[in-house]
């Protein structure tokens, strides 16, 4: 008898895991991206992108593991032993790299060819209908090359989902154990998988992080606009610069120190008097 997982389409299974995993990890990555932005590093290029991708790895492993377990438990009534997240993540990543490589090439070619063909078609139309207005031309040309591009892209996404679904199924077949729990119990189980072992600790550390972030935000946020209007007469705040007279400053400081010394001496005297009083008593 075929394994029950074989009844599910691999694309649907992969979608169920990948889509929820994406959104599970999203808020955490968003925070990382925002922190990078606050530090004036663009998370979409260079070092920022590398940082974001590296930080995403543990987040994704955790998210894939969590959502995969949920999907198996709820839909297939299967419990999985072992590090599902790690195993699914690296397989998905390898497949992703392969498919992305192929997609990069294919989409690039489609865009290049598509744009050429679109331009040729427009030229042809213009031959017969020279008055083709610019607005129509732009939209027509855009559609002519984006539609095939979108289709190629979709094919690659489906390809990846199919391959990933195939790997997901293998994981289930290899290490899945049928759970005897009722549906209600299974829902409860995956729901509980989302509660930390020590809620108070998590809440307190979260609150700490938020207070820290708030202070960082206050420090980073410029008081006046970082992009002033070129014509705006900015009122330069002129600080009345007091001419510093070093001699005066020294004299003043000396006087203050002397005063302080006098006060200190007086205090000590009083103290010693009090202690002697106490002793005499």
Q: How far apart are CA 60 and CA 18, in angstroms?
A: 10
Which CB atom, from 36 or from 84, has the smaller least distance to other proteins?
Answer: 36
User: What are the residue ranges of helices labelled H in 221-280?
Assistant: 246-280
Q: How far apart are CA 56 and CA 49, in angstroms?
A: 10
Which CB atom, from 194 or from 279, has the smaller least distance to other proteins?
Answer: 194
Which CB atom, from 167 or from 186, has the smaller least distance to other proteins?
Answer: 186
Which CB atom, from 192 or from 278, has the smaller least distance to other proteins?
Answer: 192
Q: How far apart are CA 55 and CA 47, in angstroms?
A: 12
Residues that bind other proteins (CB under 8 A): 23, 26-27, 30-31, 34, 37-38, 133-136, 138-139, 142-143, 146, 183-184, 187-188, 191-192, 195-196, 199, 202-203, 206-207, 210-211, 213-214, 217-218, 221-229, 231-232, 234-235
Smallest gap from Cβ 203 to other proteins, in A, equals 5
Smallest gap from Cβ 227 to other proteins, in A, equals 5
Which CB atom, from 12 or from 271, has the smaller least distance to other proteins?
Answer: 12
Smallest gap from Cβ 135 to other proteins, in A, equals 4
In this structure, the number of other CB atoms found within 10 A of the CB of residue 226 comes to: 6
Q: Are 55 and 32 in contact (CB under 8 A)?
A: yes
Q: How far apart are CA 88 and CA 70, in angstroms?
A: 14
176 three-class SS? strand
Smallest gap from Cβ 129 to other proteins, in A, equals 11
Smallest gap from Cβ 176 to other proteins, in A, equals 20
Smallest gap from Cβ 84 to other proteins, in A, equals 22
| Residue 239 φ/ψ, nearest 5 degrees | -80, 125
| Residue 231 φ/ψ, nearest 5 degrees | -95, 0
Q: How far apart are CA 20 and CA 160, in angstroms?
A: 16
Which CB atom, from 20 or from 175, has the smaller least distance to other proteins?
Answer: 20
Smallest gap from Cβ 181 to other proteins, in A, equals 11
C-alpha triplet 102, 103, 105: angle, nearest 5°? 70
Which CB atom, from 19 or from 105, has the smaller least distance to other proteins?
Answer: 19
In this structure, the number of other CB atoms found within 10 A of the CB of residue 147 comes to: 12
Residue with tokens 């299967």: 78
């Amino acid at each position: 008898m075929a394994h029950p997982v074989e009844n599910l389409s691999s694309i649907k299974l992969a979608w169920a895991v990948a889509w929820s995993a994406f959104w599970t990890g999203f808020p955490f990555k968003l925070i990382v991206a925002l922190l990078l932005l606050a530090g004036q590093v663009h998370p979409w290029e260079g070092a920022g992108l590398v940082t974001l991708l590296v930080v995403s790895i543990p987040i994704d492993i955790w998210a894939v593991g969590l959502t995969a377990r949920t999907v198996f438990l709820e839909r297939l009534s299967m419990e999985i032993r072992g590090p599902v997240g790690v195993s699914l993540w690296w397989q998905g990543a390898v497949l992703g790299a392969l498919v992305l490589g192929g997609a990069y090439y294919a989409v690039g070619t489609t865009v290049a060819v598509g744009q050429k063909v679109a331009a040729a078609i427009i030229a042809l139309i213009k031959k017969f209908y020279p008055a083709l207005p610019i607005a129509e031309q732009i939209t027509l040309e855009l559609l002519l090359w984006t539609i095939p591009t979108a289709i190629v892209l979709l094919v690659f996404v489906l390809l990846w989902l199919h391959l990933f679904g195939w790997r997901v199924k293998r994981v289930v077949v290899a290490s899945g154990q049928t759970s005897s729990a009722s549906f209600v119990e299974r829902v409860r189980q995956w729901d509980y998988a989302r509660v930390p072992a020590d809620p108070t600790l998590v809440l307190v550390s979260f609150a700490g992080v938020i207070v820290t972030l708030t202070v960082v935000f206050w420090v980073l946020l410029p008081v006046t606009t970082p992009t002033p209007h070129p014509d705006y007469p900015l009122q330069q705040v002129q600080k009345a610069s007091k001419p510093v007279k070093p001699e005066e400053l020294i004299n003043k400081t000396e006087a203050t120190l002397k005063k302080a010394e006098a006060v200190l001496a007086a205090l000590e005297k009083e103290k010693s008097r009090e202690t002697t009083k106490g002793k005499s008593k």
